[in-house]
A and B are shown apart, each in its own frame.
Chain A
Amino acid sequence: MAPPVISLRNISKKFKKVEALKGIDLDITPAEITGIIGPDGAGKSTLLKICAGVLSFHGTATFMNTDIRRHPERIKKYLSFMPQGLGLNLYMDLSVEENIDFFAAIKNVPDAERDRLKDQLLRATGLEPFRARWARRLSGGMKQKLGICCSLISNPEVLLLDEPSTGVDPLSRRQLWEILNGFITEKGTTLILTTSYMDEAERCHSVRFIHDGNVLFSGNPEELMREEKDLEDAFFKMLLAGKELTTYDIPFRNNVSKNGSIAIVISGVSKHFGSFKAVDDVNLSIQHGEIFGFLGPNGAGKTTLLKCVLALYKPDKGSIRIMELQSGSPELRKTVGYMSQIFSLYGDLTVAENIELYGAIYEIEKKDLKERMQWVIDVSHLAGMEDTMVGKLPLGIKQRLALGCSTLHLPSVLILDEPTSGVDPVARRSFWQLIRLLSDKLGMTVIVTTHNLVEADYCDRIAIMNEGKVIAVDTPENLRNEFIHHSGDVYEIYPETGLDAKIFSERQIEVAPFGRRYHIWKKGLSENEIKALMDSHKIGYRFIRTIPPLMEDVFIYFLERKR
């Protein structure tokens, strides 16, 4: 095996009182994709910055045999580092081309080499037509693609990307992975990336699972997937480490009767901001007691639509009826609960004070409030912390508390805008459990938005949104079946050795590399055909199996069909 390109021994890092890393050992294999995964605040970014030589630390670290601590400047000509956040390494007031040129100049790329690689990258990312456009005017996905172009222009030996796909729309995410996979195969680049999306880890050759400053797992994703159906479940088990996920019950009943079967009707709603169509002719009806998800990338119009439902925005066209009342009717105030995208609690008030405040706003009677407050405190794991300032709580707990507060008045309709954004997988899962409970026990109709397509399976029905339009509405299962019906089953192949993806693409088979595995699909493609194809190229394989299509692929399918 090739010697590691980066080698960390007993690395620790303290920020004031917080220990971000607690003596980590880690090796990175060259010419592979290594995924550093883990919940938020696990220390992933810290680790990446140490590898890039932009953060001080304790311990021994070498980068291509150079001591990072002693000679951080010597390693920088070999690496490219992209910090976390959409397009945060870009200069927003420079054009696409100027950004790339700037990076080339500070990284000493000769002009001829720069121009050649620039053309190649711009074509691959689909940014070619936007050369002269300012970075500010690019969409989130385009910014991230440009960020990757800027990182690749110096043809680095090692590419360090901090959460490259967070907040990127599915189509751009797919392109991003295509470029990265291409680069690794063609140039033998070592790629290290961090992610809090567990599904993304499956695309890596090798993963390091970081939790609370320690490495919990180091190895190939395939090793974990033997026992669990996907990595998320595997990591979830590791995080819980034998502990059971707490279950709750609701000690009180909702007195809202389920009189009609349809809770919300949205008909022909459009909302424009200037010439920008944030919401474009949306028609939907949501049933009583349903968990209904709006899925789509940032900027798809999810929040705007919710704000129309809440009568915070007046739609330019169309109408919305909630529980047979016009949206915005004063009677609705007590039947609708809302948790906004921006943290809606007061950081300078204690847990109990926040709950009391919401109780007062919703005019809940004293005797009811006591019981409900106890419940909110139980479900947000805050027993004994009633007097803690909310500002000091971790995000996952805050979100549960906010959810509790928005349900204090036992609304019939609960509207949650991106409640799980930035929440780690464990907290996310128990958050969804809570939503399910509210829906099952109290018959609440819950509307949730999320940009994380993986969360589709937590919903009864979903609406996929893109550019203000709803492009598909159904249960996640039906949407997948429709994909399979039109595009064929999705197969996962785990070859013994590496293979050239061309053997599939030249037969018009869709192919996406996932670490050492490949996902392939084509209408009418059978397992026997694949086996024959593999045999004809003399490629052995550990398994070929059908898997449910990824929601991301389903999304792209519907998007392309709409077009």
Chain B
Amino acid sequence: MKKAALLFSAMFLILLAAASSFAGTLADVKAKGILTCGISEGVPGFSIPDSTGTWVGFDVDMARAVAAAVLGDSSKVKFVPLASKQKIVAVSSGQVDLTSRTTTWTLKRDAKQGVDFTHVVFYDGQGFLIPNKLGVRSARELNGASVCVTAGTTTELNLADFARANSIKVEAVVFDGKKEALNAYAAGRCDCFTTDISQLASLRSTLKDPKSHSILPEVISKEPLAPLVRHGDNQWKDIVTWVINGLVAAEENGITAANVDKMKASAENPVIQRMLGTSGDTGSYLGLDKEWLVRAIKAVGNYGEIYNRHFGPETPLNIPRGVNNLWVRGGLQYALPIR
């Protein structure tokens, strides 16, 4: 009994010691030499293991950018697939340093569940899929249309709200599952199909002739997806926030993966000089070096390049930039000043 008690207290002490030796996430990541990032188990365009066994996707590239900025190597990321139920706990309990997993930023999660959100990387939300032959360009032209929608979800309510707000009349044709609703749409039972745009895109590419259907630019509900970190580690939150913000700023200023070296050497614009570390030292405020953003951009490209690689017109998903465009082009992506 005595031995057991001794063993038990020894274990407890070890746990305690391990707990107290936990410093900030930045120091921790640097010490381990690898960034641990939670991702989804497979969402088209966001994160999937490709045929060669490499994680690829929009969420994956965000994590690679952080790894490039912090560790100087975008391949130093350990990706941990997280089920939906784990995505918050895994961060708050310190199993992962960062979760980049199609997670909607809500007050409850931010304030109550021990996590902090960083920068909205993708404004998702409910959109409309419609056959090109109808010639509809905007959701406001849908007056009198029949819409395939899934039953009992907020999707149905959003549709009703949108119709009332824009004083148009739509007829909802309700189905139990997404697949059934899509099949009905494909069979021509309704004029258009509505669900979150990121899903519309992947469902569309399973249709017989995906090119003859388009996603309308309107997004009628709010699903701002943002990477999240543990609550209370302000330095680490700043780093993730500003790396992603820096990618958006890079697009605003025309810095790409290809031209970042040239820009760094020859750009005269003081904004670009500050971003790329030729004047001032923005990295030191974050606990990083001068070239933090240069490495991130070089590894994955600017925000627009990442978007186009996974959702652009050349990809099977082909999601219009819409609200995810830069603010100067009518979207919501607005880079905060880096200085």
Partners in one complex: no
